[in-house]
Structure 1
Amino acid sequence: MDPQVIDLSRIQFAATALYHFLFVPLTLGLSFMLVIMESVYVMTNRPIWRVVTRFWGRIFAINFVLGVATGLTMEFQFGTNWSYFSHYVGDIFGAPLAIEGLMAFFLEATFVGIMFFGWNRLSKLGHLIVTFLVALGTNLSALWILIANGWMQNPVGATFNPDTMRMEVSDFGQVLFNPIAQAKFVHTVSAGYVCASVVVLGISAYYLLKGKWVAVARRSMTVAAAFGLASSLSVVVLGDESGYALTDNQKMKLAAIEAAWHTAPAPSGLTLFGMPDTTARTTRYKVEIPWVLGLIATRSLDKTVAGMSELVLKAHDRIESGQVAYRAVETLKNDPNNQTARAAFAMHGRDLGYAMLLKRYVADPAAATPQQIDQAAWDTVPNVPLMFWGFRVMAAIGFLMIALFATAFMLCSLRMHLNAKWFLKLAVLAIPLPWIAIELGWLVAEIGRQPWAIEGVLPTFLATSTLSRGALWTTLIGFTLLYGTLAVIEVRLILATIRHGPYEHDDDPQPLPGPIPAEPVTA
């Protein structure tokens, strides 16, 4: 195993995944915001709402195209860069991706063209149904992708078959209703709704500051304020549910997020601030809120949240158990009918993946030394400073979004948003914040799973393809240049659409009002 090949493979997948996820949240959120806006048009029959819907639909279309293009590249990497991963768990992991293509992608791909070009060919209600089906397909696509990703985080409903030497489905229902996948889905789509709401709010605020297309801008801002407030509140509530799911399924990730090196007496406190010291394995200058972590993670005051040191000891025991399973598998390769080996594997097979962690240090895990076992056990601790600070920045932005949308909702309800220039400027400046939070959320989710490609089943360093450094550098540079070009094109197209405004042929039927008057200066 060439460490640089492993690192380059991880960097390339991370780059394409993070880049792809720049487009996904906006697509998820805008799709249902279009449904809301067009529903108002159908119910009121007011032409201004048709203008509003078509304008945001154009921004949705630009983003949708880039999302599809980058998503296809990301999925192909499972075959090109992660071939052993695909071979080892393809029976399970491939099923949700196949269903996503058949159920969701085909649905949205079929109706998206009708949505864009069917305005004058369908009835109002018929076109609204098409728009809803596009939104449904977009969100179903996210559901199946996150079921696949959730299985990587919590591999339920599958077992290792020593006859085929691969993971196989044992209960597809458990794969579908995986608690990690369900929590990730609702949390992720809610974050996408917040992202789209901030974009609509910010662009509308920009128009109001410039005194342009006020009729469209104020209606768009009202929809964004209400939809964004509901979404931002749900992100926090569903994030709490995600934290509870980690307690049962990903204890090490939760401990790393909290920089909890040791198990504290119940109920555990939530660390607001601290400086994780990975050398001394302690968190310095810690500021805690008593009891809060215990309530979030265990829903109780008498249960503890496991610390990393104690979890490493459990990993140590599972590695030793996995060594027994590994020896049994090696015996079954040569003697498939050996009942003693089958009995040993049946007892210790769930820990086989932990023994494979030793392959970083020794070719035969069964021959590992106690020092190598200790090293492998501590490898189960992810990057604690990145997890600790990434989560806190993400959470802080989440609470800022609640404050932003609560203020927007209040101003829109009181019809004060047209003249609140201070808030309009804040709304424009806030546009990048959801993307920062979302990308940090993915980093926390994926780095928190390390060193596993499949939690407890397959280490990341064993999952890659046999590639050269040159091939990886070439494709990484190529993707960076291509995606950089596409990013420039998308930003220019969206900015051009914003400059052009909501009316498609420069035939605004309403005269443009003048700039918003300045607020009076008071002592």
Structure 2
Amino acid sequence: MDEMVTDLSRLQFALTALYHFLFVPLTLGLSFLLVIMESVYVMTNRPIWRTVTRFWGKIFGINFVLGVATGLTMEFQFGTNWSYFSHYVGDIFGAPLAIEGLMAFFLEATMVGIMFFGWDRLSKLGHLIVTFLVALGTNLSALWILIANGWMQNPVGAAFNPETMRMEVTDFGAVLFNPIAQAKFVHTVSAGYVIASVLVLGVSAFWLLKGRFVPVARRSFTVAAAFGLAASLSVVVLGDESGYALTDNQKMKLAAIEAAWHTEEAPSGLTIVGIPDLASQTTRYEVKIPWVLGLIATRSLDGTVSGMSELVLKAEDRIASGIVAYDAVETLKVNPTDLAARAQFEAHRSDLGYALLLKRHMADPRNATPAQIKTAAWDTVPDVPVMFWAFRIMAGIGLLMIAMFATAFVLCSLRKHMEARWFLKLAVAAIPLPWIATELGWVVAELGRQPWAIEGVLPTFLANSSLSRAALWTTIIGFTALYGALAVIEIRLILATIRHGPDDGEPQHEPAPAPLAHPLPAAA
């Protein structure tokens, strides 16, 4: 086993996934912003709202194309770079991906064409319905993808079959209604709504600062402020729900996020800042808020949050149990009718994946020593410093988004958003922040699952294909160069579209507002 091949395969998938997720959340959010804007047009019959909708529809279209292109490449990697993963769990993992293509993507792709070319061929209400179907298809695509990803985090509704040596579906309903998948879906789409709102708010603020396209800018600003405030509040609330889901299903990930080396007495405190120290298994200079983590993670004052040291001890027990299951499987390979081996396997089947962790250190897990079992158990701890800081930066940006959208909403309500130039500059500068937060969110979600490709079932180092290092470096460099070029093209197209502005024949310039009788000081 060449661990460099595994690391390069992980790197390639991480790069394509993070790159793909630059475009997906913007598509998710813009689709429903278009529905809101066009609904106002249908209800008021004011042409300016048609202009607003069509302009942001262009941005949606540019982003949609690249999102599709990068998503296809990412899905193909399951067959090229992760062939054993596809063989081992393809019966379960492939179903949501297939349904996503058949149900959601075709609906979305078909309706996108009608949305762009049907403005003069459909009634106003008919076109609004098409726009809604585009948004529905976009969000359904995210749902099915996140059902697949959620199953990787919490593999319910499936079991290992020693006759086929693969994981097979036992309850597809449990796969669909996986609590981790549902929590990830609502949290992820809410983050997409925030990203789209920040872009619309920032571009509108830029236009207002320049005095260009003011009718479109001030209406777009108002819609983004209201939608963004609701979305940013939802992200925090639904993120809290995701944290609660981790308490039962991914305790090690939660412990790594909080740098909780040892189990504390209930209720646990929430660490705001600190420096995780791997050598001493402590967090230096930590600042804690008492009780908060216990309330978030357990919804009680008497529930405990397990520390990594205690979870490692449990992993040792599960590895020992998994060795028994592994021995039974090896016996059943030779004699499938061995009833004693079958009973032995059934008693320990849930821990089989833990025995596979030992394959990093030896060919046959049955030969493991206590020291090797302990080493394999510590492999279940993810990169604590990265998890700790990635989560805190993500959460900090989330709180900043709430503050920004709340301010924008108040300014719009007081009709002072066109005069508050300090805030308009802030809105422009804030455009990159939610993208940084969502990328860090995926780092927390995926790095926190390591060393598992499928949590508790299949270690990552066993899931990849037998590729050469040269082949992987070639594709990594090729994909990076290609996607880098496509990113430059998209950004240039979006910037050119923003500079050009709306072009539906509507008046785009309004006289600048009269100055206040008592202008605010510059630092206000």
Structure 1 counterpart of 2:424 = 424
What is the one-letter code of the residue matched to 1:489? I
Letter in 1 for 2:113: G
Deviation at 1:513, TM superposition (A): 3.3
Cα displacement (A) at 1:369: 1.2
Q: Which residue of 1 aligns with 2:247?
A: 247
Hey, what does 1:317 align to over in structure 2?
317
8 Å CA contact 1:358, 1:365 repeated in 2: yes
Using the alignment, how far apart are the partners of 1:238 and 1:137 within structure 2? 22
Number of corresponding residues? 521
User: What is aligned with 2:433?
Assistant: 433
Q: Does residue 399 of structure 1 match 2:399? A: yes
| 1: CA distance, partners of 2:247 / 2:503 | 51
Alignment partners' CA distance in 2, 1:516 and 1:164? 76
Q: What residue number does 1:59 align with?
A: 59
Q: How does 1:262-411 map to 2 (within 5 A)?
A: 262-411=262-411
Which shifted more, 368-377 or 162-171?
A: 368-377
Contact 1:211 1:515 in 2 (8 A): no
Q: Is 1:208 equivalent to 2:208 in the alignment?
A: yes
Does 1:501 find its partner at 2:511? Answer: no
Partner of 1:461: 461
Matched residues in 2 for 1:522 and 1:442: separation?
41
| Cα distance in 1, alignment partners of residues 300 and 392 from structure 2 | 23
For 1:154 and 1:449, how far apart are their aligned partners in 2?
10
Question: For the residues of structure 2 that align with 1:521 and 1:347, how far apart are their CA atoms?
Answer: 73
Q: Percent identity?
A: 82
CA-CA distance at 1:517 after TM superposition: 6.1
Residue 195 (structure 2) aligns with: 195
Shift, 1:502, TM fit: 1.3
Per the alignment, residue 168 of structure 1 pairs with 168
Q: Do 2:215 and 2:510's aligned partners in 1 also have CA atoms closer than 8 Å?
A: no
8 Å CA contact 1:81–1:465 kept in 2: the answer is yes
Q: CA deviation at 1:503?
A: 1.6
Q: SS at the partner of 2:507?
A: coil
Q: Which amino acid aligns with 1:513?
A: P
User: How do 1:84-163 residues align onto structure 2 when only pairs under 5 Å count?
Assistant: 84-163=84-163
Q: Secondary structure at the match of 1:271?
A: strand
* Structure 1 partner of 2:33: 33
Amino acid at match of 1:71: G
8 Å Cα contact 2:51/2:506 also seen in 1: no
Amino acid at match of 1:227: F
> CA offsets per residue over residues 248-283 of structure 1, 9 Å max, x none?
000000000000000000000000011100111111
Counterpart amino acid of residue 327 in structure 1: D
Deviates more, 1:401-410 or 1:364-373: 364-373
Superposed CA deviations along residues 174-229 of structure 1, whole A, max 9, x for unmatched, are 00000000000000000000000000000000000000011100000000000000
Structure 2 SS opposite 1:164: coil
Query: Could you say what secondary structure the match of 1:336 adopts?
Result: coil
Q: Aligned equivalents of 1:516 and 1:432: distance in 2? A: 32
Aligned residue in 2 for 1:513: 511
Does structure 2 retain, via aligned residues, the 8 Å contact 1:209–1:515? no
Contact 1:268 1:291 in 2 (8 A): yes
Q: Aligned AA for 1:412?
A: C
Write the distance in 2 (CA, Å) between the matches of 1:278 and 1:477: 33
On the 8 A contact 1:266/1:303 being kept in 2, the answer is: yes
Amino acid at match of 1:38: E
Q: Is the alpha carbon distance of 1:53 and 1:345 closer, same or farther for their aligned partners in structure 2, counting shifts above 3 Å?
A: same
Could you tell me which residue of structure 2 aligns to residue 183 of structure 1? 183
Q: Is the 8 A contact 2:48 2:506 kept in 1?
A: no
Corresponding residue for 1:82?
82
SS in 2 for 1:467: coil
Q: 2:481 maps to which residue?
A: 481
Shift of 1:313: 0.2
CA contact 2:84–2:463 (8 Å) conserved in 1: yes
Residue number in structure 1 paired with 2:447: 447
Q: Distance in 1 between matches of 2:351 and 2:398?
A: 37
Q: Which runs of 4+ in 1 moved over 4 A?
A: 514-523
Alpha-carbon separation, structure 2, partners of 1:517 and 1:316 = 71
Decide whether aligned partners of structure 1 residues 521 and 231 sit closer, same or farther in structure 2, where only a CA change above 3 A counts. closer
The amino acid of 1:451's aligned partner reads P
Q: Aligned partners of 1:279 and 1:241: how far apart in 2?
A: 32
Q: Structure 2: how far apart are the matches of 1:471 and 1:514? A: 59
Contact 1:42 1:125 in 2 (8 A): yes
For 2:350, the aligned partner's letter is R
Distance change (3 Å), C-alpha of 1:489 and 1:510: closer
The one-letter amino acid of 2:173's match is G
Answer with 36-45 or 495-504: which moved more. 495-504
Cα deviation 1:13-37 (Å, max 9, x = unaligned): 0000000000001000000000000
Deviations 1:327-380 (A, max 9, x none): 000000000000010000000011000000000000000111111111100000
Q: Is the 8 A contact 1:210 1:515 kept in 2?
A: no
Structure 1 unpaired stretches of 5+: none
TM-score (norm 2): 0.98
Structure 1 contact 28–135 (Cα < 8 Å) conserved: yes
C-alpha contact (below 8 Å) 1:35/1:131 kept by paired residues = yes
Deviations 1:403-448 (CA, angstroms, capped at 9, x unpaired): 0000000000100000100000000000000000000000000000
* Matched residue SS, 1:206: helix
How far apart are the structure 1 equivalents of 2:459 and 2:318?
Answer: 14
**1:510, CA displacement in angstroms?**
5.0
**CA, structure 1 residues 328+201, in 2 after alignment: closer, same or farther (shift >3 Å)?**
same
* Secondary structure at the counterpart of residue 70 of structure 2: helix
Aligned to 1:21: 21
Aligned residue for 2:259?
259
Tell me how far apart the structure 2 counterparts of residues 517 and 252 of structure 1 sit (CA, whole Å).
57
8 Å CA contact 2:206, 2:428 repeated in 1: yes
Q: Is the 8 A contact 1:419 1:516 kept in 2?
A: no
Distance 1:158 1:60 in 2: 38
CA distance, structure 1, for counterparts of residue 334 and residue 138 of structure 2: 48
8 Å CA contact 2:37, 2:49 repeated in 1: yes
TM-score normalised per structure 1: 0.98
